[in-house]
Structure 1
């Protein structure tokens, strides 16, 4: 049954010239897209949200953080706010 679900493959290119492809169900992109967002914009939003969430968890709920890790978390939170116009805490209701 899962083979009947349409998928979409996106290519990711990094500054170091490495690449990867990721395939996801197309309907999930449509489900989480806001307004007239493109597929790339939607997946970009999800990627940034995921990194911000993971960084937050590691720094605030994990163990063995250091200044470098805290700086990485602070930077992703700045990038989050630049992209979405609200803080991570405002977007998720999870404040510290």
Structure 2
């Protein structure tokens, strides 16, 4: 049954020339889209949200946090606010 679900494949490339592809259900992309976002913008939002969430968890709920991780978390939170116009805490209701 799950083979009947339409999917969309996205290509990812990095500054060092590495590439990858991710395939996700198309309907899920539509479900989480905001307004008239393109599919690529929607996936970009989800990627940034995921990195911010993971960094937050590691820094505020993990163990053995070092200064480098704290700096990385601070930077992703700045990027999050630049993209979404609100802080991670405001967006998620999860503040420290």
Same fold (TM over 0.5): yes
CA distances 1:23-45 after superposition (whole Å, capped 9, x unpaired): 00000000000110000000000
> Over aligned residue pairs, what C-alpha RMSD do you find?
0.3
Q: In structure 1, what is the equivalent of residue 20 of structure 2?
A: 20
Distance 2:15 2:77 in 1: 21
Q: In structure 2, what is the equivalent of residue 4 of structure 1?
A: 4
Q: CA deviation at 1:20?
A: 0.1
Q: Segments of 4+ in structure 1 off by > 4 A? A: none
Q: In structure 1, what is the equivalent of residue 57 of structure 2?
A: 57
What is the TM-score when the length of structure 1 is the normalising length? 0.99
Q: CA deviation at 1:74?
A: 0.1
- Paired residues in the alignment total 96
Structure 1 unaligned regions, length at least 5: none
Distance 1:90 1:4 in 2: 38
Structure 2 unaligned regions, length at least 5: none
Aligned residue runs from structure 1 range 1-96, under 5 A = 1-96=1-96
Secondary structure of 1:34's partner? Answer: coil
CA distances 1:18-74 after superposition (whole Å, capped 9, x unpaired): 000000000000000011000000000000000000000000000000110000000
Secondary structure of 2:31's partner? Answer: helix
Distance 2:95 2:24 in 1: 31
What is the TM-score when the length of structure 2 is the normalising length? 0.99
